[in-house]
A = this chain, B = another copy of it.
Amino acid sequence: MEYDYICSSRAELTGRIGAVINNTVEQLSAISAGARKITPASCGPLPSVEAVREILDLVKTVIFPEFIDRYHGTRAMEDARLSVSTERLFRSLSKEIGHSLFQKNPDCGSSVAAEQGLELALKLVERLPEIKRLIYTDVQAIYDNDPATEDFGEIILSYPVVHAMIHYRFAHELLKIGVPVLPRIITELAHSDTGIDINPGATIGEYFAIDHGTGVVIGETCIIGDHVTLYQGVTLGARNFTLNGEGHPVNVPRHPILEDHVTVYANATILGRITVGHDTIVGGNVWLTESVPPKSRVVQKNAEFKVR
């Protein structure tokens, strides 16, 4: 659909458009200059969200080759494919880590950042088997928890929590070896896809399961034991912030500790640096801000309703 023109009518419009764009660009550019004062400017590239997405696809490929790569051949051929995927993962990851490092420390020179990127990516590759082992414990936990499935394949291919946990466990390892920026981009991608928001700084044990998942929030300093299960809408959050001298909130331990074998039902909210003892069940919609001993059952007190 286009308006009817002969060249002279178009020329008039063209002139008007050109003037508006010119003027707009000048104003946009002026704001940009101001913003730079706040953000530490750097001349290097930022990590690419597209590349990160591809890296995580490769992580899934090397962790679940039977389900993602779908190739069935001799062991030698399968290992060849695994090698090629792993090498591609390594290459792409080292580049994005290099970009992240240069952002944080632009004075080191781009070659040095690139070299450190290679070294850190290599370290991460060495952690892949452990990540795979942990993810398989999660898949087992999800399976044990859900009467609606009889199949690991269905869980791996379609359950959002598996997606979220791969992103989290990979991002968490990156954070541990000192990679900036990238970890949060990785977990936010999963947050967008699944509605499950796990901060890469959180510590989560083996056999971890989340059912449905939408609305789950797990804060940066959470410590979660083994065999813990959460349902949709559960928040493990901070109660209040300590501000530093400049009024910016300080990054201190401020999120809950959940010991082994804890289950938290839908929409419960657990806030502050409290400890939920092992083998505890927290009921749905509970608002919990104090520590509870092991083997507790926490339920909402006045959760009755009235029928009119």
Residue contact B132 to A158, C-beta cutoff 8 Å: no
Determine whether the beta carbon of A301 is less than 8 Å from that of B302: yes
- Which residue of chain B lies nearest to A99 when distances are taken between CB atoms in the complex? B1
Cβ of A76: which chain B residues have Cβ within 8 Å of it?
Answer: 18, 22, 83
Report, nearest first, the 6 A-B pairs whose CB atoms are least far apart.
A18-B74, A27-B129, A147-B249, A4-B111, A3-B115, A80-B83
- Which residues of A1-58 are within 8 A (CB) of B? 1-7, 10-11, 13-32, 35-36, 38-47, 49
Shortest beta-carbon distance from A95 to chain B in Å: 7
Closest to A188 in B: B158
Interface residues of A in 102-153 (CB under 8 A from B): 102-103, 106-115, 117-118, 122, 125-126, 128-129, 132-133, 136, 140, 143-149, 151-153
Contact B251–A6 (Cβ < 8 Å) = no
Contact residues in B for A235 (Cβ distance below 8 Å): 232-233, 266-267, 284
For A102, what are the chain B residues with a Cβ–Cβ distance below 8 Å? 1
**B214 and A29 contact, CB distance less than 8 A:** no
How many A residues have CB within 8 A of the partner chain?
A: 162
Contacting residues, chain B, for A154 (C-beta < 8 A): 181, 184-185
Check B39 against A66 for contact (C-beta < 8 Å): yes
Contact B308 A297 (CB under 8 A): yes
Q: A28-B128, A307-B298, A308-B296 in contact; A49/B136 too (CB < 8 A)?
A: no
Contacts A17-B87, A45-B70, A81-B84 supplied; 9 other A-B pairs, CB < 8 Å: A11-B43, A21-B77, A27-B129, A147-B241, A197-B232, A235-B267, A267-B269, A284-B287, A302-B302
Residues of B within 8 A of A86 (CB): 21, 24-25, 28
Which residue of B is nearest A39, CB measured? B152
* Separation of A241 and B229 alpha carbons in the complex (Å): 14
A275 interface contact, C-beta 8 A = no
Are B214 and A129 in touch, CB under 8 angstroms? no
Q: A70 to nearest B CB, angstroms? A: 5
